[in-house]
Chain A
């Protein structure tokens, strides 16, 4: 039964993927390529499409692989399999935290985690900024700063400082700016 097979394959991937959607890649390679479910070309297409479309990359890859193998319900089974471990583990942790919120070890651990989370987000922001405005592959010769993207960045930042718009407004303006200028 292909749907159950997809569910459990992606359940295993969800269970062992720690630290970001791309951490699932080696597991996916094993599950999809070595089982003969997909060819190399299709595997690369899957990664490219998943990175370029809306949604978490891991979820996109599961949906894509499931759909290619068994249609819409295949995609659904794979996605459900991938999120099931998260649901189980996180709900367990959230319950634990509710009961132990006043425990000082938990409180201290969280007080260390929060600043580290800000640091990790800042590192991610730098990568996203780099990928959208700088073309490091062309450095140092050639036009390695995308001045048009930098311009959009400056205008959107200014607009944000003055107007404090809803994030969706900033995203929509970015999309429009990209369509006209990039």
Chain B
């Protein structure tokens, strides 16, 4: 039960600070679930994120469901997802009911712009850490570079990239096995 409450509250915080996309989730999961609680590993977070890209549904919800399930089974998946959507339900209902022009409140707009800068900072360090821990050989680096260019310069769909990377992983893995009898 304690685990479910802490899953709910962690994903509530993640939902609350996800501004302009769910990316703040990655540094938060690394800090809380990998470093502090040891419920997940860095590898697992990347697995979930990659699979979440290629499966139907909102990526942040997919990742939350995965992390919650790994930590505490189906109740965990439900607690994490509920935590993730609760801030939206509260905030959007208030805005839809009372102030659809809240974006024109200058202080709010400036705070959000500042949070976006913070998210960029957090993401850069998260990526640096992921590269340090997860990129072990030139093949990994090639896949990373290809995925980056595919999205940033060629506008490929994340689904295409995830499917291609999975296929490359299988082919590469079989090749290496053959080479090492």
Binding site for B on A (CB under 8 A): 14-21, 24, 45, 48-60, 63-64, 67-68, 72, 75-76, 79, 82-83, 85-87, 89-91, 93-94, 97, 104-105, 107-129, 131-133, 149, 152-153, 156-157, 160, 166-168, 170-171, 173-179, 181-182
**Contact, CB under 8 Å: B61 / A83:** yes
What are 23 inter-chain pairs, A to B, with CB distance below 8 A?
A21-B22, A21-B59, A49-B95, A49-B102, A52-B103, A83-B57, A83-B81, A91-B65, A94-B66, A94-B69, A118-B130, A118-B135, A120-B148, A123-B147, A124-B123, A125-B120, A168-B13, A168-B28, A173-B118, A174-B119, A178-B117, A181-B114, A182-B114
Please, which residue of chain B has its CB at the minimum distance from the CB of A84?
Answer: B57
Main secondary structure of the interface of A (DSSP, over half): helix
Chain B residues numbered 130-169 whose CB sits less than 8 Å from any CB in chain A: 130-131, 134-135, 140-141, 143-152, 157-159, 161-162, 164-169
A22 to B: closest C-beta gap in Å: 9
Interface centre among A20, A87, A111, A177 (most CB of B within 10 A): A111
B38 to A: closest C-beta gap in Å: 16
**Contact, CB under 8 Å: B127 / A167:** no
**Contact, CB under 8 Å: B46 / A128:** no
Q: Cβ of A153: which chain B residues have Cβ within 8 Å of it?
A: 117, 120-121
Please, which residue of chain A has its CB at the minimum distance from the CB of B126?
Answer: A121
**Contact, CB under 8 Å: A64 / B96:** yes
In the docked arrangement, what's the CA distance between A60 and B47, Å? 26
**Contact, CB under 8 Å: A178 / B50:** no
**Contact, CB under 8 Å: A182 / B113:** yes
**Contact, CB under 8 Å: A18 / B159:** yes
**Contact, CB under 8 Å: B60 / A91:** no
**Contact, CB under 8 Å: B143 / A177:** no
**Contact, CB under 8 Å: A174 / B115:** yes
Q: Cβ of B150: which chain A residues have Cβ within 8 Å of it?
A: 119
Q: Cβ of B39: which chain A residues have Cβ within 8 Å of it?
A: none
Binding site for A on B (CB under 8 A): 13, 15-24, 26-28, 31, 43, 46-47, 49-62, 65-66, 69-70, 74, 77-78, 81, 84-85, 87-89, 91-93, 95-97, 100, 102-103, 107, 109-127, 130-131, 134-135, 140-141, 143-152, 157-159, 161-162, 164-170, 172-174, 177
**Contact, CB under 8 Å: B114 / A178:** yes
- Given the known A-B contacts A14-B56, A114-B134, A115-B134, are A109 and B166 also in contact in the complex, defined by CB atoms under 8 Å? yes
**Contact, CB under 8 Å: B120 / A128:** yes
**CB contact between A119 and one of B43, B126, B143, B166 (< 8 Å): that residue:** B143
**CB contact between A175 and one of B53, B84, B118, B159 (< 8 Å): that residue:** B118
- Given the known A-B contacts A55-B18, A79-B88, A120-B158, are A174 and B117 also in contact in the complex, defined by CB atoms under 8 Å? yes
Please, which residue of chain A has its CB at the minimum distance from the CB of B120?
Answer: A129
**Contact, CB under 8 Å: B167 / A112:** yes
In the docked arrangement, what's the CA distance between A67 and B88, Å? 12
- Given the known A-B contacts A48-B103, A60-B92, A168-B13, are A19 and B120 also in contact in the complex, defined by CB atoms under 8 Å? no
**CB contact between A125 and one of B23, B54, B57, B174 (< 8 Å): that residue:** B23
In the docked arrangement, what's the CA distance between A94 and B70, Å? 8
**Contact, CB under 8 Å: B143 / A115:** yes
